[in-house]
Amino acid sequence: MSITIALAGNPNSGKSTLFNALTGSNQYVGNWPGVTVEKKEGKYKKDKSIKITDLPGIYSLSPYTLEEVVSREYLINEKPDVIVNVVDASNIERNLYLSTQLSEIGIPIVIALNMMDIVQKNGDKIDVNKLGRLLGYPIVEISALRNKNIDKVIETAISVAKTNHVHINSFDEEVEKYIKEIESQVSSVGMSENRRWYAVKLFEEDEKATANLQISDAERKTVEDIIKRAQEEFGDDGEGIITDNRYTFISSAVADTVKKGRSGMTTSDKIDSIVTNRFLALPIFAAIIFLIYYVSVNIVGADITDWVNDEFFGEMIGGSVRAYLEGASVAPWLTSLIVDGVIAGVGGVLGFTPIIATLYLFLSILEDIGYMSRIAFILDRIFRKFGLSGKSFIPILIGTGCSVPGIMSTRTIENENDRKMTIIVASFMPCGAKTDIIALFAASVFAGANGWWFAPVCYFAGILAVVISGLILKKTKSFAGDPAPFVMELPEYHMPLVSNVLRTTWDRVRAFIVKAGTVILLATIVIWFLQNISTSFEFVEFSEDSSSILEAIGRTFAPIFSPLGFGDWAATVATMTGLVAKEVVVSTFGVVAGLGEVGPDTDSMIKYAASVFTMASGLSFMLFNQLCIPCFAAVGAIREEMRSAKWTWFALGYQMVFAYSISLMVFQFANVFLLGNPATAWTYIAGAIFVVMLYLMFRKPKEAKEMAKSAVAESGK
């Protein structure tokens, strides 16, 4: 017999950890809501006939977020045989709120009481038998992280699925009578398999859940009437009455069964008292980020990457392939395509793999131990003052790996304005691909000035760009409004789990390598051809005019970027090809430099970059590439999440204008004030933009103005 088991529960309750342990698969385990925004399916390791579905984390079955809708539509339409409700035992009261709702769907339930290791460590006691009796569900105590008792969850789930016994928690008598009344008065509800579910949803006036019920006008009137009577009795609307009733039930059940152990501070509390401290939090965060980038880009970057690039791709592969091809009398152009094009372009990107791997390793550790969740919390506390929600920072922190999942995770944001705003700014962070460009610049343009500060500066520039944009956008009518409240379970700190950390790191590194072998390879070949074919369609080497198509394109568009300091044709072309994938910026320099004297290695790339850029134009180039329109994949994600062509264009337009303004200011001010060059007309334009930006950031928001106006009108009466 085949059985389908659905894992449902709050964000961060450990569903994905349990799913991985049961199915042996490699779902991403993250410490924040929004990591699993789509359901994932797998098969039980020990019995392939058992199908397991990992659902997005939800706090309730209301229709307010996309995850809630995904989860509840799955449960109602696909009807799994049994729900395993994963409950975080260390946060039991909040978690059980969902449990009381799940039973109404009409599917048997088993509670997997997870994180029992934490409960034990804290010295708390849970009377599981009694709690099970009160709730009416079987409970299995587990620790998904430590692999404790997880098979018993499946055994229990199977036996419950076989009996198909559904226990429904009743509300208090006074509330229950209204629900029963709806069940008996509305015929389509009474006949439905999900009778209870629809009755409650009608009472709560949840339109989405009841949309496909066939209700006559008379019945609709009856329901309205029932709700009105309840409202008179309780002084609250249907949804409020139900919510209140659930909470009362849970808190009395928890009071009866859970005994807190020591009331003192746990280890996590002690760590938090330092790292989330009002004054220390940000300096500690900054120090950690500096350290991570310093180690990744400068220590690992300097030695390993040099070796990989120069010895490995340059001498060993590039050199020997060239010798081999020349020995085999392969046409010179083909040799050049392979050595100067593919090996230089793709090799130039792959050469940075050690940096990316180290960076991802550190970020995964920070996330796995629970530190990154604190960052969202800390940033929330600060940025709320500016009208930004910490929820917006989760996509942005995820975007430090890759913007695509970052943009996708905006689905956790209920407020549509905040969600759109977050999609627009999520790609401002330096993702892995952009880290490639950063590494190239740290090793070249900024090497003389001890480039160690360059990478972290880009990271914080990303955060600053988010804040500035947030301030500007929030002042406009389309994005106005208070930030939504931000609730997030701060998980207990734990030692990094080697398998988790390595899995996350490897997933990202693999994606990076796959990209190098596909998109970047293709782009590199195209770039090589454009660079080797002259504008009169002959090979550059043999042509009258020695200007390649690539160079011609670059020169055509270069004037646009001259005010930003990088009107060099290769820099212009690199910026354009970077839209395919940001790594291609590096490959473009690789191909262009590789065709010069030295050969395909970082050395020539570094020399080339150092000859093209000053520190001012280098920083401006970097920031422009970091902040402007992201790669195709991320643009696709923006389109998908915006679900509107108009808003997609707005996002891309905003990113372009914003990047241009920032780079212009950075270059012009650095050029004049730091390098002591004379000011030009562009310097004054940059100054004007600076003033406008300050105005846009700090003017009174639209709403406040209107409110002030009406207040004046009121007092005038």
The interface with ligand GDP within residues 491-510 (CB under 6 A) comprises 491-492, 494
CB of residue 12 vs Mg ion: minimum separation in angstroms? Answer: 8
Task: Compare residues 29 and 467 and give the one whose CB is closer to ligand GDP.
Answer: 29
Binding-site partner at residue 71 among ligand GDP, Mg ion, none, CB < 5 to 8 Å by type: none
Task: Compare residues 17 and 572 and give the one whose CB is closer to Mg ion.
Answer: 17
**DSSP conformation class of 447:** T
Q: Residue 23 interacts with Mg ion (CB under 5 A)?
A: no
Whether the CA torsion 53, 57, 61, 65 is positive or negative: it is negative
CB of residue 521 vs ligand GDP: minimum separation in angstroms? Answer: 34
SS3 category, 5 = strand
* Non-local CB neighbours of 16 within 8 Å, separated by 6+ positions: 27, 28, 29, 30, 35, 36, 40, 54
Task: Give, rounded to a whole angstrom, the gap between the first and last alpha carbons of the chain.
Answer: 76
Task: Compare residues 70 and 584 and give the one whose CB is closer to ligand GDP.
Answer: 70
Task: Compare residues 35 and 292 and give the one whose CB is closer to ligand GDP.
Answer: 35
Q: Residue 114 interacts with Mg ion (CB under 5 A)?
A: no
Q: What share of the chain is helix, strand, coil (3-state, %, to 5)?
A: 70, 5, 25
Q: Residue 145 interacts with ligand GDP (CB under 6 A)?
A: yes
Per residue, what are the HEC states of 483-550? CCCCCCCCCCCCCCCHHHHHHHHHHHHHHHHHHHHHHHHHHHHHHHHHHHEECCCCEHHHCCCCCEHH
Task: Compare residues 409 and 668 and give the one whose CB is closer to ligand GDP.
Answer: 409
SS3 category, 60 = coil
Q: How far is residue 441's CA from residue 589's CA, in Å, rounded to a whole number?
A: 11
The interface with ligand GDP within residues 104-133 (CB under 6 A) comprises 114-115, 117-118
The interface with Mg ion within residues 31-50 (CB under 5 A) comprises 35-36
CB of residue 661 vs ligand GDP: minimum separation in angstroms? Answer: 38
Q: Among 303, 289, 629, 282, which Cα is nearest to 454's?
A: 289
Place of tokens 């793999």: 353
Strand partners, 702: none
- Show the binding pattern over residues 359-378: x = contacts ligand GDP (CB under 6 A), - = does not: ---------x----------
CB of residue 114 vs ligand GDP: minimum separation in angstroms? Answer: 5
Binding-site partner at residue 100 among Mg ion, ligand GDP, none, CB < 5 to 8 Å by type: none
Task: Compare residues 304 and 490 and give the one whose CB is closer to ligand GDP.
Answer: 490
Looking at 13-21, 61-69, 159-167, 369-377, which segment touches Mg ion (CB under 5 A)?
A: 13-21
SS3 category, 110 = strand
The interface with Mg ion within residues 516-545 (CB under 5 A) comprises none
Strand partners, 112: 86, 140
Residue of 57, 138, 347, 354 interacting with ligand GDP (CB under 6 A): 57
Q: Residue 412 interacts with ligand GDP (CB under 6 A)?
A: no
Task: Compare residues 35 and 361 and give the one whose CB is closer to Mg ion.
Answer: 35
Looking at 23-31, 58-66, 413-421, 596-604, which segment touches ligand GDP (CB under 6 A)?
A: 23-31
Q: Residue 29 interacts with ligand GDP (CB under 6 A)?
A: yes
Task: Compare residues 45 and 607 and give the one whose CB is closer to ligand GDP.
Answer: 45
Q: Residue 16 interacts with ligand GDP (CB under 6 A)?
A: yes
Residue of 13, 16, 389, 534 interacting with Mg ion (CB under 5 A): 16
Binding-site partner at residue 31 among Mg ion, ligand GDP, none, CB < 5 to 8 Å by type: ligand GDP
Q: How far is residue 582's CA from residue 529's CA, in Å, rounded to a whole number?
A: 20
CB of residue 505 vs Mg ion: minimum separation in angstroms? Answer: 18
Q: What's the gap between Cα 83 and its chain centre?
A: 27
Where do the DSSP E strands lie in 174-323?
258-259
Residue of 5, 52, 75, 144 interacting with ligand GDP (CB under 6 A): 144
- In the sheet that holds 139-141, the strands lie side by side as 40-43, 50-54, 3-9, 82-88, 109-114, 139-141
Asked whether 388 and 483 are in contact (CB, 8 A), the reply is yes
Residue-wise DSSP of 571-600: HHHHHHHTTT-THHHHHHHHHHHHTSSS-S
Q: Among 398, 316, 308, which Cα is nearest to 353's?
A: 308
Q: What angle do CA 432, 435, 436 make, to 5 degrees?
A: 100
Residue of 30, 395, 451, 578 interacting with ligand GDP (CB under 6 A): 30
Q: Residue 152 interacts with ligand GDP (CB under 6 A)?
A: no
Looking at 5-13, 309-317, 452-460, 521-529, which segment touches ligand GDP (CB under 6 A)?
A: 5-13
Residue-wise DSSP of 294-348: IIIIIIIIIIIIHIIIIIIIIIIIIIHHHHHHHHTT--HHHHHIIIIIIIHHHHH
Residue of 85, 143, 403, 661 interacting with ligand GDP (CB under 6 A): 143
Q: Among 96, 40, 97, which Cα is nearest to 71's?
A: 40
Task: Compare residues 18 and 581 and give the one whose CB is closer to Mg ion.
Answer: 18
Q: Residue 412 interacts with Mg ion (CB under 5 A)?
A: no
Residues of this chain that interact with ligand GDP (CB under 6 A) are 9, 11-17, 29-31, 35-36, 57, 114-115, 117-118, 143-145, 368, 491-492, 494
Residues of this chain that interact with Mg ion (CB under 5 A) are 16, 35-36
